[in-house]
Chains A and B, each alone.
Chain A
C-alpha cells in the first residue's frame, strides 16, 4: 500500500501522529505555494498552518474522490485568495525579502532565511524576482492562481481544475491569458 495512503486512512480515523506525518510531507510545498501568493514568509507561514488546521478538522469528511494533495491544496489556495482579497482592501506596501517591511510591526520581522547557496538550483537576481513578482500581482486572481500552480508547482491542468474549482478547459484558458499577460509585461524588461 502507498505509505501516504496509509497515513491518510489513519488520519481520517483521528490518529494525530498520522496527520503530523502528512504535515511533514507537505509543509514545505504548502509554504512555498502560500509564499508565491503572499510574497511574505510570515503570512505564508500563517496561511499554510491555517490550511493544515482546517484539513485536520475536516479530515473525517475527506471523501478520497480526489487525492489528498489536491484536496489540501484547494483549502490552501482558497485561504490565499481570501487573504489577497482582504489585503487589496487595505493600503499596505510589502517588499521582497532583504528589504524593510513597511506598515508591519518590527516584532513581526520575517524569520531568517537559509542563505546557503544550493548549487543545483538556478537563482534569479533580486531585480528579476521583483519584476516577475510585480507582473504576477497585476494578473487577475484566477489567472495568477492557475499560472503559479502550473509553472511554479508543476501541477497538471486536471489537478489545477480540481483545486481551483473549474473545468480543465477553463483552467487552460486562464493559463493562456496569464501567459499572454506576462509576455506583454515582461518580454522587454527581461530582454527575451
Chain B
C-alpha cells in the first residue's frame, strides 16, 4: 500500500459521531416546524416572486453557464478587436449611396488621381 493509500485509509475511518435517539427526535421535531413554516410561506405571492428571482439568478452560478459565458465573451472580444483594428488601419468605409452628388464627384476624382486607379478597369 502506498503512503497516500494508507493515509486515505486512516482518514476514511473518521466517521461522524453516531447521535442518540433523543438527538434525532429533536432533529425531526425542529425540522418539522421549519418545514411547516416554509409550507405556509411558500404559497404567499411575495415568496413565489422572490423564489422566481432567486431561481433566475441561480442559473448564472452553474458551471455550464460560466463556461458558455467565458467562450462567448472571448469571441466578442476577438470580434471587437478585429473591428477596431480594421477601422483604424483601413480607409474610412461608408456607403456610396449616402454621398451627395458633389461628394461623389470628389470621390471619383480622388480615385482617378490615386495610384490604385491604374488597376481600376475602365468601363
Contacts and interface: CB of A to CB of B under 8 A. Distances in A.
- Asked whether A and B interact, the reply is yes
Interface in A112-160: 112-114, 116, 118, 121-124, 128-129, 132-133, 151-152
Interface in B19-66: 19-24, 26-27, 30-31, 34-35, 38-39, 42, 51, 55, 61-63
Contact of A183 (B7, B12, B35, B42): B7
B95 to A, nearest CB: 47
Contact of B13 (A32, A58, A113, A122): A122
A19 B14 contact: no
B102 interface: no
Given A16-B35, A45-B27, A165-B62, A114 B8 contact: no
A23 to B, nearest CB: 7
A128 B8 CA distance: 13
Interface residues on A, range: 35 or more
A53 B20 CA distance: 22
By secondary structure, the A interface counts as: helix
Contact of A152 (B14, B24, B39, B61): B14
B116 interface: no
Contacts of B91: none
B88 interface: no
B11 interface: yes
A187 B7 contact: yes
Contacts of B39: 16, 56
Interface residues of B, number: 34
A27 to B, nearest CB: 7
Contact of B31 (A52, A123, A132, A187): A52
Contact of A132 (B4, B10, B23, B61): B10
Contact of B19 (A56, A61, A111, A182): A111
Given A132-B10, A179-B8, A192-B7, A41 B35 contact: no
A27 B27 contact: yes
A56 B23 CA distance: 22
A53 B35 contact: yes
A61 B38 contact: no
13 contacts: A20-B35, A31-B19, A31-B27, A32-B16, A45-B27, A61-B55, A111-B20, A114-B17, A123-B13, A124-B10, A152-B14, A167-B63, A179-B4
Interface of A: 16, 19-20, 23, 27, 31-32, 35-36, 41, 44-45, 49-50, 52-53, 56-58, 61, 97, 111-114, 116, 118, 121-124, 128-129, 132-133, 151-152, 161, 165-167, 179, 182-183, 186-187, 190, 192
